Amino acid sequence: MRRIISVLLENEPGALSRVVGLFSQRNYNIETLTVAPTEDETLSRLTVTTTGSDKVIEQITKQLNKLIEVVKLVDLTEGAHIERELMLVKLKATGSQRAEIKRTVDIFRGQIVDVTSSVYTVQLAGNSEKLDGFIQAVGTSGVLEVVRSGVSGIARGEKVLSL
């Protein structure tokens, strides 16, 4: 099952490599990984999406917790949560395609953020399925380049992951 694990990590050199190393060392999957400092500059927030049986996920969270630099973590998929991924796509856009792509971008609530005579660069945020859906809708043949941020997530409601 797919899980989103959100981690508060000491913002120190080498901390990220420990997390990544743990996944490869113990043969766990990383599907996406995002990391950036938080409003408290001593902490980074890391979001990792992974798949595995309940037993594997339990081990992943326990092993992550064992890392000295991991301060706190939560498996967001255990409760209601919001997940977002940012995608930038360069699409071939000439002739009648231009209007069609514009319409599709509007339907997906994306924005065209850069334009040339033959290329649109589209920005789109949403959950991963929505981004997949957009690529499907415009058709892979027109796609010149895709860059995705990986998933960031946060719990719904009052629940907060903080010190």
Partner 1 sequence: MELLSGADMLIRSLQDEGIEYIYGYPGGAALHIYDALFRQDKVKHILVRHEQAAVHMADGYARATGLPGTVLVTSGPGATNTITGIATAFMDSIPMVVLCGQVASTLIGEDAFQETDMIGVSRPVVKHNLSVRHPEEIPEIIRKAYYIAATGRPGPVVVDIPKDMTTPNERYEYVFPKKVKLRSYNPAIRGHAGQIKKAVDMLMAAKRPIIYAGGGVILGKATDQLTELVRMLGYPITNTLMGIGCYPASDKQHLGWLGMHGTYESNMAMHHSDLILCVGARFDDRVTNATEKFCPGARIVHIDIDPASISKTIDADVPIVGPVDAVLKEMITLVRESKEKPDAEAIAAWWKQIEEWRAFHGMRYETSPDLIKPQEVVEALWRLTNGEAFVTSDVGQHQMFAAQYYKFDRPNRWINSGGLGTMGFGLPAAMGVKLTHPDDEVLCITGEGSIQMNIQELSTCKQYNLPVKIINLNNQALGMVKQWQDMNYESRHSESYMGSLPDFVKLAEAYGHVGVRIDRKEDLESKLKEVLAMKDQLVFVDIYVDRFEHVYPMQVARGSMKDMWLSKTERV
Q: Which of 16, 30, 33, 71 binds partner 1 (CB under 8 A)?
A: 71
Q: Which of 36, 40, 58, 106 binds partner 1 (CB under 8 A)?
A: 58
Q: Rule CB under 8 A: which of 12-41 touch partner 1? A: 13-14, 17-18, 21, 25
User: Tokens in use for 155?
Assistant: 């719990």
# residues contacting partner 1 (CB under 8 A):
20
User: Tokens in use for 87?
Assistant: 């995608």
111 binds partner 1 (CB under 8 A): no
Q: Which of 34, 63, 97, 127 binds partner 1 (CB under 8 A)?
A: 63
Stretch near partner 1 under the rule CB under 8 A, chosen from 11-19, 30-38, 91-99, 121-129: 11-19
Query: Do residues 9 and 64 make contact, with C-beta atoms less than 8 angstroms apart?
Result: no
Query: H or E stretch including 106?
Result: helix 97-107
Minimum CB separation of residue 32 from partner 1 in Å reads 22
Other beta carbons less than 10 A from residue 85's beta carbon:
23
CA distance 88 to 124: 6
- Nearest C-alpha neighbor of 91 from the set 109, 116, 108: 116
68 binds partner 1 (CB under 8 A): yes
10 binds partner 1 (CB under 8 A): yes
| CA 26 to mean position of chain CA atoms | 22
Burial 12-23 (b: 16+ CB within 10 A, else e): eeebbebbeebb
Minimum CB separation of residue 96 from partner 1 in Å reads 53
162 binds partner 1 (CB under 8 A): no
Residues that bind partner 1 (CB under 8 A): 10, 13-14, 17-18, 21, 25, 55, 58-59, 62-63, 65-66, 68-72, 163
